[in-house]
Structures are given as C-alpha cells and as structure tokens.
Amino acid sequence: MLQLETVQSEWTSSVLKTSVGQQQQRSSYDLNRVEETERPAAPKELERRVRRVEKHLKTAMWSHTKAAARESEHKELLERVSQLEAAGRSGVRKLFNVTRDLAAVDKVQKSAAQLKEQVSVLESRLDTTIPELQKEVTKMEFELAQTSSNAQVAKDNQVRAICDFYFQIQQWIFSFGQYLDMVM
C-alpha cells in the first residue's frame, strides 16, 4: 500500500511538473514571439496571432484539465486496487478457513470409517460368539438341572437315611425298653 502511495505521488508530481513546464515553455515561447513581433502588424495577422494564443491557452487549459481528470482517475484506480487487495486478503482468509474446515471434515470422515470398520469387526465377533455363548448357557442349564437333580436325590437319600436311622433308634429304644422290662 505504501508503495502504491509513493508511486502515485511520484506520478502526480511528474505529471504536474511536465504540464507546468510545457505551459511555461509555451507561454515563454509565445511571449518571445510577441516581443519579436511587436512591430506594427496588419489587423488580420494580429487576429491570427490572437487566435493562435487563444488556441495555445485552450490547449494548455485542456491539458491541465486532462491531467486533473487523470489524477482523479488515478485516485479512483488506487482506491479500486486497495479495495481489490482487501477483498483478496479477505478471500485468502476465507479460503484458509474453508481449507481448515475441509481438513477437519476429512478427519471426521476417516474416524467415522474407522469406527464403522471396528463396529463391523465387533459384530462379526458377536455373531461367532453368541452361538458359543448360547451353547455354554445351554450346557450350564443342563449342568444346573443335573446338579439340582443330584441335590434332590442326595436330599432324598439323606432324608431316607435320617428316617432309617430314626427308625433304627426307635427300634433300639424299643428293644432296650423291652430288655429293661425283662431285666427288671
């Protein structure tokens, strides 16, 4: 931006110097001619000279006006360039943000793909493991039923053994009671 302002000021000063220098050269040239030709001249020639001086003045004024117009155009161009530069910087920032966002989206997509792959691996493991677990559960249920049955049989055997023992004790007491009756 500083370079543009420097170039602008150099260009403006060179244009003004050139136009002022040309006007001074023209006016000094015209004055020299007028001084040289101060002798009495014919009215037609004077009119022609006056028109010529007027023409030079108009040309000088026109070139000065053109320089001012070019200067305003130059300022407008510089403003436009600075606006375009600002828009370019803004565009670069936006592009950087979009690129960063795309990189983040790409990472998320990769993570989602990896997660999907891991879920499918777990599903396949579950698919193979579930039947094995069902077999194990069935086996455990069978063993539980067997154990429960064995426990019931053992309980029945214990009850029977206790009943037999009780019956034997009653018989022994009865026999002992009869023995005592006999002995006494």
pLDDT in tens, 71-83: 888 888 889 889 9
- pLDDT at residue 4 in the model: 47
Averaged pLDDT of the chain = 78
- For the chain, where are the alpha helices, taking DSSP H only? 2-36, 43-183
The answer to the question of residue 11 being in a domain is yes
The answer to the question of residue 163 being in a domain is no
Here the tokens at position 124 are 């396949």
The answer to the question of residue 174 being in a domain is no
- pLDDT at residue 14 in the model: 59
The answer to the question of residue 87 being in a domain is yes
- pLDDT at residue 49 in the model: 83
pLDDT tens digits in sequence order for the chain, 184 residues long: 445 456 455 655 654 555 445 555 555 545 445 444 455 556 788 888 888 888 887 787 777 777 777 788 888 888 988 998 998 899 889 889 888 988 888 899 999 999 999 998 888 887 788 788 888 889 999 998 999 888 888 888 888 888 888 888 888 888 888 887 787 6
Q: Rg (Cα) of the chain, in Å, rounded?
A: 61
Handedness of CA 147, 148, 152, 155 (dihedral sign): positive
What does the alpha-carbon distance between residue 53 and residue 27 come to, in Å, rounded to a whole number?
9
DSSP state of 41: -
Domain count, the chain: 1
184: helix, coil or strand?
A: coil
- pLDDT at residue 114 in the model: 93
Those residues whose C-beta lies under 8 Å from the C-beta of residue 74, and which sit 6 or more positions away, are 8, 11, 12
The answer to the question of residue 122 being in a domain is no
The answer to the question of residue 31 being in a domain is yes
The answer to the question of residue 136 being in a domain is no
Tell me which residue range forms the domain holding 20: 2-105
The answer to the question of residue 142 being in a domain is no
